[in-house]
Amino acid sequence: MDAQNINCKIKISGIVLDSFEQVALSNTIVSIDSIRKETKTDGKGQFTLNDLCPGRYEVHISHLNCEHIHIILEVNSDTLIKIFLRHIEKELIGFKLSAKLEKSEDLNHLNAKNMDYRKGQSISMLMQDIAGISLLKTGSTVSKPMVNGLFGNRVIIVNNGIRLEGQNWGMEHAPEIDAFLASEIDLIKGAESLRYGADGIGGVIRISPKSIFTEKPKTLNGEINLIGNSNGRGKTGNLILGGVLSKNLPIYIRVQSSIKQFGNIKTAKDYLANTGMSEFNYSVNLGYLRKGLLSEVFYSEFHNKIGIYTGSQVGNLSDLEKAMNSRTPLIKANFTNQIDRPYQLVQHRMLKFKNALQVNAKNKIELTLSYQKNHREEYDVLRSANSFTGPSFDYYISSSFAELVWTKNPFHQINWKAGLIGLRQSNAYTGRFFIPGFYQNSFAGFLIASKQFKKLGIEGSVRYDQKHFDIYRWIGTVSNKTQLKYTGFAYVLKADYQLSGKEKISFIQSSTWRAPAPNELYSNGLHQGLASIEIGDSTLRTERSYSQSLSYSLHLKKHKFDIEGYFQIVDGYINLTPSNKVILTIRGAYPVFQYQQNKAALYGFNTRWKYQFHKSMYTIISAQLPYGQNMDTKGALNLMPSMNGKLSLGYKHRTLNAEVWVNYQSKQNRYVVGSDFMPPPEAYALIGFDLNYEFKAVGQNFKCGLTGSNIGNSSYRDYLNRFRYFTDEPGINISAKLTMTINQKHKK
């Protein structure tokens, strides 16, 4: 390199911060080994490297108490960089290395800011901003995530490091998670996803709270959120308070509670009878962090009561036809907060105990124990005043889980992570049969390895599972125990290639599997509200998925473009298929839906383009094109999302952020004709907006926001809503939010 060259006057300057506390790190060595340039950060963490020629450099950053990092920079002009280093001890907390500058502009990630704008919405609603995620709904009160058309047992939800073990199998069962605990949401697709299971063949959605270790001594930290919604006259409140006992006793404490109440929801024209809901949640979090040892206890409770639209509980097929042929809801209603039958009552409790030990600079051991208990009751409409008033369905599931993980992070070599997992689960019910009771004992082991070469990053993982079920079924008055055992391997391979500083491609190839769920094997009964009979098949085998995806990202100053294409074959894909059979009952003939296995293909594209066309204005265009094909019948797969897209126009100036958008959902033309009671609804477009402003008053930080959805108050129905036969989707809703950030330093 010729320093005398006229162009060789380029300067790389920057600041080095601790990724945990965001404080400046002085005395950090910043060097470019190839040209033997070296400097140290000053007291403010700042550094400058002068007289560089244009080109690619590997910059080495090291600090005594922190890890070393290497970053590749392509410099053509003066460059300013911000580098976050993690302290070895802080590494225990599990912060990700964030040398990548803007993590938020990712297809598969939602950060704390995204969460702030959506405060008060359900956890599933929050997820839908991630590319590829659609919502499978049951009326206006129940929704669950669908990843590229896959849902339920095929999507793993990880809440606070623990896989959510709830009543995931039911289409009308929403995830049992308090949305106020979510600080970040990721859709994990790489090697790490196998840590949480091999059966997430749709994906792994990880919901992370704000780490307890962000609390500071001598400071009372927290937040108060108040949210009001016009539709349903919803009222939501949330309080978080946290601190550290004292500097000498590093016990971190945080308590949180949220409460929510909604009354009847209104479509563009009518109130929907019995569509209110209420929710009460709380959590307590304690942490201890000192000298390489981290301990954390987390306990949370989730309680909700969800009203189900009264008109959805049809007596038989003729009632269903009558409901479908009516343009307005058959049950007339006014506004009320009262919730009557039918309703769902759900409780979910989680206790987590995590310990991590930093053995030395490279090795870390984590032991996590958790216990979850889920109780779901469903109350149907009473046939007469002397009917049994208890729950019509009553399910219990409790899960004890243990995970031991060893992590080795040597610099410049292969990073390793290995783990052993055990799960003991008991599923029971009282009263009416729909799915059988069972015990599950599972063991799993996984190994993840990753290595970063200059431009190429490679990661891979394998997992072995052994699942053992004892299933209890009753034939007359005799209990019949069936033992089932499933074993299998899964792997994920991922390669990232940095084409330049701005362009990256990655490729993921995986093979994962899922054992049939007890409802798919043995359910046998009337499906509430859909006037159909669902029959399981005890001969179902495991599903095996082979998936590949290719993604490309281009991040320039003004343009940020991401696209991913995926192609997934699922061998033995279990789906509920209409049969030609009808079953004669006292309420007429019911169509029969049976669980069947087919070879299925799921493929499509997700893309997002953000264009900063002015210093304070931008547009974002995103689109999702999912397809599902039954390869045996050469026809469509039912219940796939249709092509959809969103166009947003944003304005950001200082602490004001405004966004207006249009959401478009096309009509689903790909479905099995004759398999549904009603053809898919028409395409629709909805307009919404977000307005957020931050300000300081009385020494505290405030955030206020206004969000509007369906502001055109359109009448529309959605193909992925199971109540599309009965009612329109909700009409206009305006929600107002106020957040007060508490940051009270106490003297002493």
Which of the stretches 98-106, 472-480, 556-564, 571-579 binds other proteins when contact is defined by CB under 8 A?
472-480
Interface with other proteins, residue 581, by CB under 8 A: no
**CB 703, min distance to other proteins, A:** 26
What is the rounded distance in angstroms from the CA atom of residue 21 to the CA atom of residue 376?
41
Which of the stretches 61-69, 245-253, 599-607, 710-718 binds other proteins when contact is defined by CB under 8 A?
245-253
Candidate residues 247, 291, 327, 383; the one interacting with other proteins per rule CB under 8 A: 383
Interface with other proteins, residue 586, by CB under 8 A: yes
The letter for the amino acid at 420 is: L
**CB 516, min distance to other proteins, A:** 18
Q: 437 or 460: whose CB is closer to other proteins?
A: 437
Which of the stretches 101-109, 415-423, 585-593, 610-618 binds other proteins when contact is defined by CB under 8 A?
585-593
Interface with other proteins, residue 479, by CB under 8 A: yes
Q: 222 or 730: whose CB is closer to other proteins?
A: 222
> How distant, in Å, are the alpha carbons of 156, 204, 376, 465, 542 from that of 571?
19, 20, 32, 18, 9
Candidate residues 160, 231, 344, 427; the one interacting with other proteins per rule CB under 8 A: 427
* Cβ atoms < 10 Å from Cβ of 301: 18
What is the rounded distance in angstroms from the CA atom of residue 156 to the CA atom of residue 57?
40
Cβ 281 vs Cβ 325: under 8 Å: no
How many whole angstroms from its chain centre is CA 579?
Answer: 34
Name every residue whose Cβ is closer than 8 Å to that of residue 747 and which is 6 or more positions away in sequence: none
Which of the stretches 1-9, 162-170, 477-485, 712-720 binds other proteins when contact is defined by CB under 8 A?
477-485
Q: 318 or 655: whose CB is closer to other proteins?
A: 318
Which of the stretches 28-36, 120-128, 388-396, 630-638 binds other proteins when contact is defined by CB under 8 A?
388-396
Interface with other proteins, residue 582, by CB under 8 A: no
Cβ 661 vs Cβ 151: under 8 Å: no
Q: 408 or 468: whose CB is closer to other proteins?
A: 468
Write out the H or E segment, with its range, that includes residue 394: strand 393-408
Candidate residues 392, 510, 553, 630; the one interacting with other proteins per rule CB under 8 A: 392
Interface with other proteins, residue 390, by CB under 8 A: yes
- Binding-site residue total for other proteins (CB under 8 A)? 66
Interface with other proteins, residue 259, by CB under 8 A: no
Cβ 212 vs Cβ 554: under 8 Å: no
Cβ 175 vs Cβ 158: under 8 Å: no
- The two beta strands, 155-159 and 203-208, are parallel
Residue located via tokens 């994920």: 492
What is the rounded distance in angstroms from the CA atom of residue 572 to the CA atom of residue 319?
35
**CB 439, min distance to other proteins, A:** 6
DSSP tag of 125: H
Longest alpha-carbon distance in the chain:
97
| Residues in 519-558 that interact with other proteins by CB under 8 A | 524-526, 533, 535
| Residues in 295-324 that interact with other proteins by CB under 8 A | 297, 299, 301, 313-316, 318-319, 322
What is the rounded distance in angstroms from the CA atom of residue 641 to the CA atom of residue 151?
11
| Short-list 128, 34, 145, CA closest to 688 | 128
How many residues does this entry show for the chain? 748
Q: 84 or 434: whose CB is closer to other proteins?
A: 434
Q: Which chain residues interact with other proteins by CB under 8 A?
A: 220, 243, 245, 251, 253, 255, 284, 286, 297, 299, 301, 313-316, 318-319, 322, 349, 351, 371, 373, 375, 380-381, 383-388, 390, 392, 396, 398, 426-433, 436-439, 470, 472, 474, 477, 479, 481, 524-526, 533, 535, 583-588, 590, 746
